[in-house]
Structure 1
Amino acid sequence: MLDALSPTITLNDGHTMPQLGLGVYKTTDAEATHAVSFALQHGYRLVDTAAMYLNERGVGDGVRASGLARDEVFVTTKVWFTDNGYESTLRSFDESLDRLGFDYVDLYMIHWPAPRNDKYVDTWRALERLRDEGRARSIGVANFHAKHLERLLGETDVLPAVNQVELHPWLPQTELTVFDRSHGILTQDWSPLARGHVLDSGPLAALAAKHGTSPAQVVLRWHVQRGNAVIPKSVTPERIEQNIDVFDFELDADDLAVIASLESGERTGVDPDDRN
């Protein structure tokens, strides 16, 4: 069993969260159990799942199979946008907790604002209640534009601890990251490798050769140096180990300029305004 390999970041509510963790999107229960257990035994301490992923049971089993105590692992899950709303969110949370087999989660998130449905403020109020009850240690949002966050800031009492968004060299989300930081919200990056497509870039291959790493490690190091949290997804043991091995080298200003040149605005997922 390896010690934790990722540094932690202190959230605006005082809790700490590992900067780099394991994503399990599009992973079956069985795959999640194996990947989570392996990752936790090899230095990971954060696992990110969601009700929509249909693998919360596998994640919980993986945590238990790892041999680590529950309080050594930071577990995130999320309410799907079709359950946005006060009572429906509370019900969805109970169902997620039951599938995970836990008494609490470390971070509970609104998965999408679904703004045309206009329920994300009531959903957030349900999350505030869950935090007050101690069943969600921290609460946050995913896929929120600044305008969605501004509405929460104006109409509710608790600041999101985390805003998890699609972010990679094609879509660096610089303005949103600055907005988050100015309000004490940590930006956490999903699809950090653009589902692997960005790795075909010749410039990234050159940077990998320069540093004696893989292109994926270069990109993940870029996320880390920006001060964001990041959740690369893999079920392959070798890649799981490689993805967290990014804390012993540093990209210089020239490297960062090369990566900045890759920005295109291209998304691999849905724009939050279009998810309803």
Structure 2
Amino acid sequence: QSSLKNGAILSQATILEYGHNNIEDLQKKLGEERGKFRRCLIITDSVFSMDGDLCLLPKLLDLAENFDSMLLIDEAHATGVFGANGSGCVEHFNCRGKELIQVGTLSKALGSLGGYVAGSKVLIDFLRNRAASWIYTTALTPGDTAAALAAIKIVREEPERRAKLWENIISLKGLLKSSSLVPIVNFESPIICFEFKDAAAVLEAAKQLKKQGIFAPAIRPPTVNTSRIRISLMATHELEHLERLVEAMNN
């Protein structure tokens, strides 16, 4: 979300924020403000990195069409994780071929460096010629490029890795139901967050978890509104790891 906001600021466009994943608030603001501007770009994450919930992509596409707006979706935490082929939430929601701009990173699930923009030929040609942040940056090294291409090949050809990740997500949901732990949202991704009363409490929790061999970062304001422990599941986790996590969090 931070990179999206910084990009919006760099564009020097008028910025109007809407409530987190709040379609009604977005619709209200579009109704009040859209007519004042020649162009409008709706921006969202597909997977929200500090909560673990998903954007309501089909509804966002409907709003974009109804209000003659463009839509940009950041797949940073969805690439390699969502969709039958690991293409992200655009594929997950069966929205491929729709009019939108899909951006993402090669540095999370794909484990390389850099990022991508997928869109119409007109858009890509425009960015190649006008986007100073791309034109004047250093190109990816051959090694980084090869690593990203190899990772994409693995995502496509080894779906069992993704299946194992989702097996772990379902298993953790089951374990949490039989515990006293309640995530901030009903998570729909490998990201799970638990709220704490303040920064001191969450820092102590992260410290205690680390002593038990669990790396779970403490996220505090101003990065987020409330202090929280952030868990990221992996395909390489086993059931015993999840059980140990729940036991440690309960303590």
Q: Kindly name which structure, 1 or 2, has the bigger radius of gyration based on alpha carbons.
A: 2
- Establish whether TM, by shorter chain, passes 0.5: no
Give the TM-score taking structure 2 as reference length: 0.35
Higher relative contact order (CA 8 A, sep 6+): 1
Give the TM-score taking structure 1 as reference length: 0.32
